[in-house]
Amino acid sequence: MTKWKFPALKIRTRLLLQILIGVACALLLSEFLFRNTDAVFDAVKTLPLFYLDVDALSEQAAAYAKDLDLPDHEIDIDVDNPGAAEAYLPFYELCDPYTGLAFYSEDDGFFRFGFPPRILSDPNSNNYFWRAVDLISLNSTWYAIELISLRSDLYHEEFTVTFRNGDATVFVSNYRVILFGCLWFFTVALLAVILLLGIVLHYINSRIRDILILHEETALMASGDLTHTVPCVGRDEIGELGCGLDSLRIALLENIRQEEAARDANRDLIAALSHDLRTPLTILNGYLEVLNLESTTPAARADYLGRCLQKTAEIKELTDRMFEYALVYEVDETPEFVGLPADFLRQCLLENLDFIRLAGFRTEISSLPDDAVLCGDPTMLKRILNNLFSNILKYGDKGTAISLSASASDGSVRIRLTNAVKPDANASAGSHIGLKSAQKMTALHHGTLQYDRCGKLFAVSLTLPAIAPVSDHLCRQRMIRR
């Protein structure tokens, strides 16, 4: 079953969705809190800010009433200009801005006088806490009051006082619920805003955190550390930036590795070709020394002079290839396959054998191929054989004959070369670059080169395919007749 994934959205779209979600959650929270206003008021009504001590109020009212007469009719008391009703002002002073008193005669039950809560009756006052808030948020405040209006016990109390001429029932209006309503309204609004901002800021903070992560990663990349993977930080533009940075890191790392590999390969190539130059130069020097001998016959002089010209051509070809690869930084050499008859391999072997004979070595030839057709690069094949015989010239013992055998069978040509190592030779101290170069070039020809030293004897086995599988048709078309 395919797992459903949230579609990749842009940052602006995601931020808009976060705002809409935050608004919806804030509205739901506000509605829930307003629906539970009465439960909240039950929990906080005993706090000093909302609590009215009715017992203390009744005791103080009774203390004032015992020295006064209850009016026999309803009177309207003006607090600012009480006139004859000034005697009843102590009852007004008992009331705080949220408390009102109403006096009813117990004889007939009619209203005599009273003082409404100043928070409702004095719109010009600016000394009462939340007065301005009451005026601004009147609808919301009364909405909170209406939710608890069915419970008159929350804001109505009554007690009886005795005047000199009779008893009166005092109704107490405790409008601290208005103060609670204002505070509750702004508390709900604050919680809703905090929830909205919390949702939005949480998303913004997560994006900023991702940006800081990418900043740290770019700092690591700038310091040269390209091995640390840039983490995935989302599916928006910042996430795409992170993926782009990781792709850039991989590309840079790969380019650096390829450049290092190309540099190493180029260095090895130059070293190998430089090594290859030594052999024809040494052979050329040997031919020139022979030519310098007075006992040399004119026929031999002409033969050696031709060989010198051939070696100078080989040196020129090697130097041209070395400079060509040095300029273009080729990682690997690419052989140019052409068809080579058996006589080409025979001449290369005889030429190298002739040279080591001149150097004082004895040779024994078991067999040479006469019908094999090779497919390879002529210059590389010469370099392979030159490296093998140059190794003999450097480490071989002239007291033991060099054994050479070459045969063609089963679609391949096998050459085995055995020599004794001179006692004072320290083969382990060399770099073996000649053998390494020969192995590399043999592998490019789809062949194998193996060498082994057992005691004093050193043996090399070279196997080359008679027909290269990838270039059979091309080799036959470009057959070189020698």
- pLDDT (tens digit, 9 = 90+) per residue, 89-134? 999 989 888 888 999 999 888 999 998 888 776 655 545 544 535 4
**Most confident among 160-164, 181-185, 281-285, 465-469 (mean pLDDT):** 160-164
Q: Is residue 209 part of a domain?
A: no
Are residue 166 and residue 285 in the same domain, yes or no? no
C-alpha separations of 401 from 117, 287, 353, 414 in Å: 131, 22, 11, 20
State mean pLDDT over 400-405.
Answer: 88
Are residue 362 and residue 319 in the same domain, yes or no? no
Q: Measure CA of the first residue to CA of the last residue in the chain; give whole Å.
A: 70
* Bigger pLDDT: 469 vs 177: 177
Are residue 40 and residue 189 in the same domain, yes or no? yes
Are residue 56 and residue 187 in the same domain, yes or no? yes
Q: What is the pLDDT of residue 278?
A: 74
Cα–Cα distance for residue pair 84/80, rounded to 1 Å? 12
Are residue 342 and residue 418 in the same domain, yes or no? yes
- The percentage of residues in the chain with a pLDDT greater than 90, rounded to a whole number, is 15
Q: What is the pLDDT of residue 190?
A: 93
pTM above the 0.85 mark? no
| Alpha helices, H only, 109-175 | 118-121, 131-136, 138-147
Cα–Cα distance for residue pair 280/310, rounded to 1 Å? 10
pLDDT tens, 1-29? 444 444 567 888 888 999 999 999 999 99
The total domain count for the chain is 3
Are residue 327 and residue 402 in the same domain, yes or no? no
Containing domain of residue 461, as a range?
A: 337-482
CA 85 to centroid of chain Cα atoms: 84
Q: Is residue 210 part of a domain?
A: no
State mean pLDDT over 65-85.
Answer: 87
Cα–Cα distance for residue pair 112/74, rounded to 1 Å? 4
Q: Is residue 28 part of a domain?
A: no
Choosing from 307, 333, 359, the residue where a domain stops is 333
Q: Is residue 464 part of a domain?
A: yes
Amino acid at 420: A
User: What phi and psi values does residue 96 have, to the nearest 5 degrees?
Assistant: -90, 180
Are residue 108 and residue 131 in the same domain, yes or no? yes
State mean pLDDT over 425-453.
Answer: 76
Are residue 319 and residue 275 in the same domain, yes or no? yes
Q: Is residue 10 part of a domain?
A: no
Mean per-residue pLDDT over the chain, rounded: 79
* pLDDT of 435 over the 90 cut: no
Are residue 344 and residue 327 in the same domain, yes or no? no
Q: Is residue 8 part of a domain?
A: no
Choosing from 301, 333, 365, the residue where a domain stops is 333
Looking at the DSSP bridge assignments, the partners of residue 260 are none
Are residue 38 and residue 175 in the same domain, yes or no? yes
Are residue 79 and residue 165 in the same domain, yes or no? yes
Please name which of 356, 363, 453, 460 lies closest in space to residue 418, comparing C-alpha atoms: 460
Q: What is the pLDDT of residue 469?
A: 41
Q: Is residue 236 part of a domain?
A: yes
C-alpha separations of 136 from 23, 133, 193, 409 in Å: 23, 5, 19, 109
Are residue 367 and residue 450 in the same domain, yes or no? yes
Q: Is residue 60 part of a domain?
A: yes
Residue 421 carries which DSSP code? Answer: B
Percent of residues in the chain assigned helix, strand, coil, to nearest 5: 55, 15, 30
